[in-house]
A and B are shown apart, each in its own frame.
Chain A
Amino acid sequence: MKRYSAFSLVTEGLRGHRGWRPAWRKADPQPGYDAVIVGGGGHGLATAYYLARNHGIRRVAVLEKGWIGGGNTGRNTTAVRSNYFYPESVALYDLALRLYEGLSRELNYNVMLSQRGMLIAAHTPAQMEICTRIANAMQLNGVDGELIGAEKALKLAPLLNRTADARYNCMGGVWQPRGGVARHDAVAWGYARAASDMGVDIIENCTVTGLLIEGGKIAGVDTDRGAIRTDRVGLAAAGATPGLAAMAGIRLPIHTYALQAFVSEPVKPILDTVLLYLGTGTYVSQSDKGELVFGGGLDRVPTHGQNGNLPAQETVISGLLEMFPAFAQLRLLRQWAGVVDVVPDSSPVIGPAGPEGLFLNCGWGTGGFKAIPAGGWLLAHLLATGSHHEISRPFDLDRFARGRLIDEAAGSGIAH
């Protein structure tokens, strides 16, 4: 693999940029692998990378039905943060954030992590109490979380509506300085490049059509490009996971919904934090290109269609304009949606699926992007060792039968 550096950039620049090579190999499926990962998004590619890097397992295939990073990895609003409530969640999401903090160097690929901070803003005394609770929980869990008042919040987001008749007058909120954004495509591409370099086959346009189970163990997968034998399979396919699990007769605690996101036309710098407003449920940041990237809650009709419906758009956009009346002048550039896998306690499902050798990494719902490095790390651990990492243990599918839900919907006020 040719290393990227300032030197290589200058050298290539002088040569007219004719020497760049594709960042990863296009591979064809081989008859057998040590492990197969279904889903070529961030989680699947990170899993392949950590299988090779942490566990020395390199005969690995990542099967992607479309193009890598084309699902929810390419459809989110790129925020990274670990401001959760329960210790189990903070351990999980802060592992991800810590890995993100070293990722560009680790992968030799600029994922453009920008820790510009994230503010969860409140506009009522009750919400401020919730924010106090979250900030306290974060501090008890050893993560940077700080309760701030209106003055500091308005310094962080000076364009917030503070007129006398503002519906949601900001009272302050929870501030996480280490939160921020990362370039979503680069995360997928960086993991793909580093994994490919270690021997992982990344196979695009390859749809899994069946799971081969023999004697209660996974034996391989059927695909539209032939059967592949393996005794370890990881499913990391977000909204497509229920369909894959059904091939092995497994039902999951998942409903699938469309989650929409939007970008405005680009403007000069006006917002240098990530902002989530509890009162509107709308969150927004500004991209490096100047576009406002924003989103909100789920569409309420369960779907597998990667498009959104108007009621959710109206809620999100009207929420944004209540917070920032000035943004009404902007035109909407694009709108899109991803199909997210929502579980009742708004926490992911990581662990054995049932048949020996078959593992799950799903249920991330609206928050999968921020967790990519951890999801990959933990699924790789499961595939390599057959057992849980201590961080993934609480997120096992068995929590639903044991009654040990990790209810972040109630704990940290996730919108769904």
Chain B
Amino acid sequence: MQVFTCPFCGPRDETEFHFAAEAGKKRPIPAEAVTDDEWADYLYMNSAPRGAAREVWLHVTCGEFFLMMRNTVTREVAEITPLRGRTG
């Protein structure tokens, strides 16, 4: 069992968390000008990096979204930062 640290609740079991998305995706705007390819890229396409990753995670039990930097091979967590208050 791996333990992740929710910025709001503190350390909790991995089963309470859900991987949400790779970080850094920018929703294309304005909607009426977005092509099918741009929209598909935003919705579906990923890097799935081997090694260092920067991801958005959800602590399901409290609803907190946060940023997690971790290694996808060793599973080591480098850094967790809250997303609250961020606009971009």
Nearest residue in A to B15 (C-beta to C-beta)?
A311
Interface residues of B in 29-81 (CB under 8 A from A): 36-37, 39-41, 43-51, 53, 55, 72-75
Q: Please state if B72 and A256 are interface contacts (CB–CB under 8 Å).
A: yes
B27 contacts chain A at the CB level, 8 A cutoff: no
Output the residue of B37, B51, B75 with the most chain A CB within 10 A. Answer: B75
B65 CB to closest chain A CB (Å) equals 16
Known: A310-B1, A402-B36. A300 touches B18 (CB 8 A): yes
Q: Please state if A400 and B47 are interface contacts (CB–CB under 8 Å).
A: no
Q: Please state if A301 and B19 are interface contacts (CB–CB under 8 Å).
A: yes
Interface residues of A in 371-416 (CB under 8 A from B): 400-403
Query: What's the Cα separation between A243 and B47 when bound, in Å?
Result: 8
Question: Of B2, B41, B48, B50, which one neighbours A255 at CB under 8 angstroms?
Answer: B48
Residues of B within 8 A of A311 (CB): 1, 13-15
Residues of B within 8 A of A344 (CB): 44
Output the residue of B37, B48, B55 with the most chain A CB within 10 A. Answer: B48
Residues of B within 8 A of A243 (CB): 48-50
Residues of B within 8 A of A341 (CB): 48
A253 contacts chain B at the CB level, 8 A cutoff: yes
Q: Please state if A401 and B36 are interface contacts (CB–CB under 8 Å).
A: yes
Q: Please state if A309 and B48 are interface contacts (CB–CB under 8 Å).
A: no
Nearest residue in A to B55 (C-beta to C-beta)?
A302
Q: Please state if B1 and A301 are interface contacts (CB–CB under 8 Å).
A: no
Query: What's the Cα separation between A253 and B21 when bound, in Å?
Result: 12
Interface residues of A in 106-143 (CB under 8 A from B): none
Output the residue of A240, A301, A305 with the most chain B CB within 10 A. Answer: A301
16 additional A-B pairs beyond A251-B45, A401-B40, beta carbons within 8 Å, are A242-B47, A243-B50, A251-B46, A251-B47, A252-B45, A253-B44, A254-B46, A300-B15, A301-B2, A301-B75, A302-B53, A303-B75, A310-B1, A341-B48, A343-B44, A401-B37
Which residues in A have some Cβ–Cβ distance to B below 8 Å? Answer: 240, 242-243, 246, 251-256, 300-305, 309-311, 341, 343-344, 400-403
Shortest 9 CB-CB contacts between residues of A and residues of B: A242-B48, A253-B44, A401-B40, A251-B45, A304-B50, A401-B36, A400-B40, A400-B44, A304-B72
Task: List 8 A-B pairs, Cβ < 8 Å.
Answer: A252-B46, A255-B48, A301-B2, A302-B48, A303-B75, A341-B48, A400-B40, A401-B37
